[in-house]
Amino acid sequence: MADLLSLFPVVSALDADGTVVVGGCRADALGEEFGTPVLVVAEAALRARAREYAGELSARWSNSRVVFASKAFPCTAVQRVMVEEGLGLDVAGGGEILTALKAGVDPGQIVHHGNAKNDEEIAMAVDHGIGLVVVDNSDDVDRLEATVPEGRTQDVLVRIIPGVTANTHAHVLTGHTGSKFGLSPDQAAPLIKRIENSRQLRMQGVHVHVGSQILDVEPFAESVAPVARLGEFPVYDLGGGLGARYTWADSPPAVGAYLDALIGAAKQHLPAEAQVIIEPGRSMVCESAMTIYRVTTVKRGAVTFVAVDGGMGDNLEVALFEQRFEAGIVGRFDGPDPELVTVVGRHCESGDVLVDGIALSAPAVDDLLAVPATGAYCFTMANNYNGNRRIPVAFARDGHARLVVRRETWADLSARDVD
C-alpha cells in the first residue's frame, strides 16, 4: 500500500476506509462528480513542482529561465498555473501557441519549437511576437525571412544535435546522431553565419535536447560541450528530458541532482554572463495527476482481464513507449484476495493494455481503478479511436475540485462533418 500511495501526488493520503484522497478530494467522490474516466490534477503538487524547478535553477545560475514544455500537458489551465508561478512556455505547434496566449503568458516568454514548422505557424509566431523561435533547419530561416516585416527582427536559436545517446526508449531519443531534430554542429555552423548576417533575424543562441524519460544525469551534462564549441552566444537553451516516477521501480534523479550535473557542465563550458534556459515537461507534470476508471468487465481464463471504461484513447504511453504504470482498486489498495491480472482498455486493439501483470484486490464490475502518474502525455495524445470521447480534466485542491476541461459530447464527434 505504501509503495503504491507513493506514486500518487505528494498531497495524497488514504482516508479511514482506505480510499485514496488527492488534493483533499476522495477518488470515489471525484468519480461520482465528474464521471469516469477522469484525469485529476493535484494543483498544489503542480505548483510546488514549478516552484522547485525555478528555485533550484536560479540558485545555481542566476541569469536563467524555466520554460514549461507544454507538449507534455497542453491544457490551458496547466499552462496558466505555470505562468502564475513565473515560468515561460515552450510550444511545439500553432495550437499550443494559442492555448499559451489564452493562459496569459507574455509572448516574449514563449519558446517555439518544431522540426517541420509550416507557413501558418511561422506567421503566428511572428504576428504574436513570440520571444524565441528555435530554428531546426534552413527552411525555417527561409520562412522566417519571408515573413518578418521590414524593420522588425525575430530572435532565434539554432537547434543542435549533440551526438549523445541517452538510455531511454528509442521513440523519445532526440540527441543522437541521425535524430530528425536539429542539425549536426558541422551543418549548424554555416546556418548560424547566415542568421548572423540576416537583416530580419537575430542570432541569440543555441538549443540542445537529448530525449525524454531519462533516469540518469550524465547525458544532460554531456550535451553541453558540443554546443559550447559553436561559439559564445547570449542564450543557451539546454532542453529538458528528466524522467518521472511511474512505478516504484523507477528512481529518477531529484531536480537538484539533475541541475547539479547540467549547470556544473554549463559553468565549465559556457560564458558566465549568458542566459541558461531549461525546458522541463514530463518531470514537471507526470506525478501531479492520476486517472480514475470504472471496471466494466472481469474475464477470468488463461489470463484474467480487467477491462475499464478508458484505455489507449486517454493513455497512449503504454502502446507507444512501452511505459509501465501501476494501479489499485479504490478503497482496496492493500485489500484481500489479491489476483494477478492484466488491465486493458475498451478499444478494439490487442495493444490496448494499461497495466500488464498487476495484483489487484478482488476486482469486480463497477469498482473504481486509480492509476497514478498520468499527468504527462496522456491528455496531449488523447484521441477519438472507436468514436471515443476525450475525457475531462479536473483540478483538486484543499478538498475542492473544479472542472478545467469538459468531457467531449457525442455532438462534438460530428461537429467537423460538412456532409
Across the strands, what pairs with 68?
89
Give the residue carrying C-alpha cell 536563467: 64
DSSP codes of every residue in 265-320: HHHHHS-TTSEEEE---HHHHGGGEEEEEEEEEEE-SSS-EEEES-STTT--HHHH
Catalytic residue among 25, 75, 348, 378: 348
Backbone angles phi, psi at 244, to 5 degrees: -115, 170
Q: How far apart are the first and last CA of the chain?
A: 53
User: CA torsion sign, 328 to 6 to 55 to 277?
Assistant: negative
Judge whether 209 and 175 are in contact, CB under 8 Å.
yes
| Amino acid identity at 9 | P
DSSP state of 22: E
CA-to-CA distance for 391 and 397, rounded, in angstroms?
Answer: 20
User: Pairing relation of β-strands 154-160 and 132-135?
Assistant: parallel
Cis peptide before 37 (omega within 30 of 0): yes
Cα gap 161→164, rounded to integer Å: 8
User: 286 an active-site residue?
Assistant: no
Paired sense of beta strands 25-26 and 38-42, if any: unpaired
CA 351 to chain centre: 22
Cell numbers given for 254: 531529484
DSSP labels, 33-56: HH-SSEEEEEHHHHHHHHHHHHHH
3-class DSSP state of 132 = strand
Q: Is 161 helix (H, G, I), strand (E, B) or coil?
A: coil
Length of the chain: 419
Query: Catalytic positions, please?
Result: 348
